[in-house]
Amino acid sequence: MSFTNLQDHEILAWLREEDGARVRELWQAADAVRAEVVGPQVHLRGLIEISNYCCRECAYCGLRAPARDVARYRMTADEILAAARQAVSFGYGTVVMQAGEDYGITREALAGTIRRIKAETPLAVTLSMGERPEEDLAAWREAGADRYLLRFETSDAELYRRIHPTPPGRAHRDRIAVLPVLRKLGYEVGSGVMIGTPGQTVASLARDIALFRALDLDMIGEGPFIAHPDTPLGGGAPRTAPEGEQVPDSARMTCSVLALTRLVCPEANIPSTTALATVDPIAGHEQGLRCGANVVMPNLTPGRYRALYSIYPDKEGIHDDPQVFHERLLARLHALGREPGAGPGNRIRRTAAG
Ligand code: 5AD
């Protein structure tokens, strides 16, 4: 099997590969493409989890609306600005504001916060606010937001419907259909999937990866599914795909998916995610950075809110002070022969000759 111009059946074959030596070859091939195309820079994006309110009922997520035991918070603009200034002080080029789908964050309020960040700092601004109406997305872009993240989670329509019930009073939205809207508005567009969601087949995951290429995504986020006990997919015996077809929610499978993603989307910004570091804290972020990833998103959410953003349990680094995490990360990047990226870290585009 070759590593260039991977066809759909080859992506599938790599996902099914069991020979450890062959899997390591795949990871090394992706690392080589990463080094050649995006270089040694690891872009650092300061993550600010600005609200844990959510109106959606995603069957895997600890912040889903029916999770009554979650104490909810929403950061003020001043708190967000303080976190953004901290990102600047660490030399990060981007802040990512993420929240549940929270209509308590109004179009105008967030637009105002974006304008303040853009006026008072040199940061690029990424948003991850769920499936908001186009008018909101347009206003935020107008206010200066640069990028938007919306994972489609799976391209298997049946599985998608099963894990994303439509709450009463909310329109059913197809996340894949939102991505071209974001593109049209002028955002850099990010998406991605969870790996090992109960019911996810290897064949559907291969199609997800092929879809990343078809969508020409600028950013692709992928992490293992982590069962949250207070969700429908978290407890008991969740409905899994047939034996041999279910995608494992392992670090190893995640690394192979990251590698295949780098091979099919060589120019994309690909994070080594917190979820990956959570399932294998010893190998941490380094394992993803060795298999094709070129981005890390250090958490800058104030300590008093951090534990409340419980998408899944036992998140890696949950108690780390940003300064401590930052210094440790720089040392780890250095040990890997990598360096923190300078500037905003936009998606690069190779020239036609490249
Ligand atoms: N395990 C792993 N990832 C999760 N996400 C949400 N819940 C979980 C979970 N239980 C991911 C989704 C979402 C992103 C913000 O977090 O992919 O898009």
What is the phi/psi pair of residue 274, to 5°? -60, -35
- With respect to residue 344, please indicate whether it lies within any of the assigned structural domains: no
- With respect to residue 349, please indicate whether it lies within any of the assigned structural domains: no
- With respect to residue 347, please indicate whether it lies within any of the assigned structural domains: no
DSSP sequence for 272-283 = --HHHHHH-TTT
Q: CA dist 192 to 13, 246, 273, 278, 302, Å? A: 20, 18, 11, 18, 26
As given in the structure block, the two tokens for residue 304 are 């008093």
pLDDT at 236 over 80: no
- Considering only CA atoms, which residue is closest to atom 18 of ligand 1? 151
CA dihedral for 273, 276, 281, 286, sign (positive or negative): negative
| pLDDT bucket at 354, cuts 50 / 70 / 90 | very low
Q: Average of pLDDT values for 258-265?
A: 98
Report which of 178, 186, 201 is spatially closest to residue 129, judged by C-alpha positions.
178
Angle between helices 134-143 and 107-120 (to 10 degrees): 20
Please count the structural domains in the chain: 1
The fraction of the chain above a pLDDT of 70, given in percent, is 98
- With respect to residue 59, please indicate whether it lies within any of the assigned structural domains: yes
152 near 164, Cβ under 8 Å?
Answer: no
pLDDT value at residue 353: 47
Question: CA neighbours within 13 Å on the CB side: how many for 157?
Answer: 4
What is the phi/psi pair of residue 343, to 5°? 75, -170
* Residue to probe by mutation, ligand 1, list 194, 217, 233, 299, most atoms within 8 Å of CB: 194
* Residue to probe by mutation, ligand 1, list 56, 58, 60, most atoms within 8 Å of CB: 60
Three-class SS string for the chain? CCCCCCCHHHHHHHHHCCCHHHHHHHHHHHHHHHHHHCCCEEEEEEEEEEECCCCCCCCCCCCCCCCCCCCCCECCHHHHHHHHHHHHHCCCCEEEEEECCCCCCCHHHHHHHHHHHHHHCCCEEEEECCCCCHHHHHHHHHHCCCEEECCCECCCHHHHHHHCCCCCCCCCCCHHHHHHHHHHCCCEEEEEEEECCCCCEHHHHHHHHHHHHHHCCCEEEEEECCCCCCCCCCCCCCCCCCCCCECCCCHHHHHHHHHHHHHHCCCCECECCHHHHHHCCCCHHHHHHCCCCCEECCECCCHHHHCCCCCCCCCCCCCCCHHHHHHHHHHHHHHCCCEECCCCCCCCCCCCCC
Report the separation in Å between the CA atom of 194 and the middle of ligand 1, taken as the mean of its atom positions: 7
- Considering only CA atoms, which residue is closest to atom 11 of ligand 1? 194
Report the separation in Å between the CA atom of 289 and the middle of ligand 1, taken as the mean of its atom positions: 20
Report the separation in Å between the CA atom of 61 and the middle of ligand 1, taken as the mean of its atom positions: 6
- With respect to residue 4, please indicate whether it lies within any of the assigned structural domains: no
pLDDT value at residue 4: 84
- With respect to residue 1, please indicate whether it lies within any of the assigned structural domains: no
Cβ count near 304 (within 10 Å):
9
Using a 6 Å CB cutoff, which residues line ligand 1? 60-61, 151, 153, 194, 223, 225-226, 228, 275, 311-312
Give ∠ CA 174-179-183 in degrees, rounded to 5: 155
As given in the structure block, the two tokens for residue 83 are 């976190």
pLDDT value at residue 319: 84
Closest approach atom of ligand 1 to CA 153:
17
Say how far apart CA 310 and CA 34 lie, in whole Å: 31
- With respect to residue 346, please indicate whether it lies within any of the assigned structural domains: no
Q: Average of pLDDT values for 67-90?
A: 97
Report the separation in Å between the CA atom of 60 and the middle of ligand 1, taken as the mean of its atom positions: 7
What confidence tens digit (pLDDT) does each residue in 142-195 have? 999 999 999 999 999 999 999 999 877 777 778 999 999 999 999 999 999 999
Report the separation in Å between the CA atom of 13 and the middle of ligand 1, taken as the mean of its atom positions: 26
Task: Find the range with the poorest average confidence among 60-64, 91-95, 350-354.
Answer: 350-354
Domain that holds residue 149: 10-335
Mean model confidence pLDDT for the chain: 95
- With respect to residue 354, please indicate whether it lies within any of the assigned structural domains: no
- Considering only CA atoms, which residue is closest to atom 2 of ligand 1? 225
As given in the structure block, the two tokens for residue 169 are 């009073």
The fraction of the chain above a pLDDT of 90, given in percent, is 89
CATH code of the domain in which 243 resides: 3.20.20.70
Q: Average of pLDDT values for 223-244?
A: 88
pLDDT at 27 over 50: yes
Q: Average of pLDDT values for 66-71?
A: 96
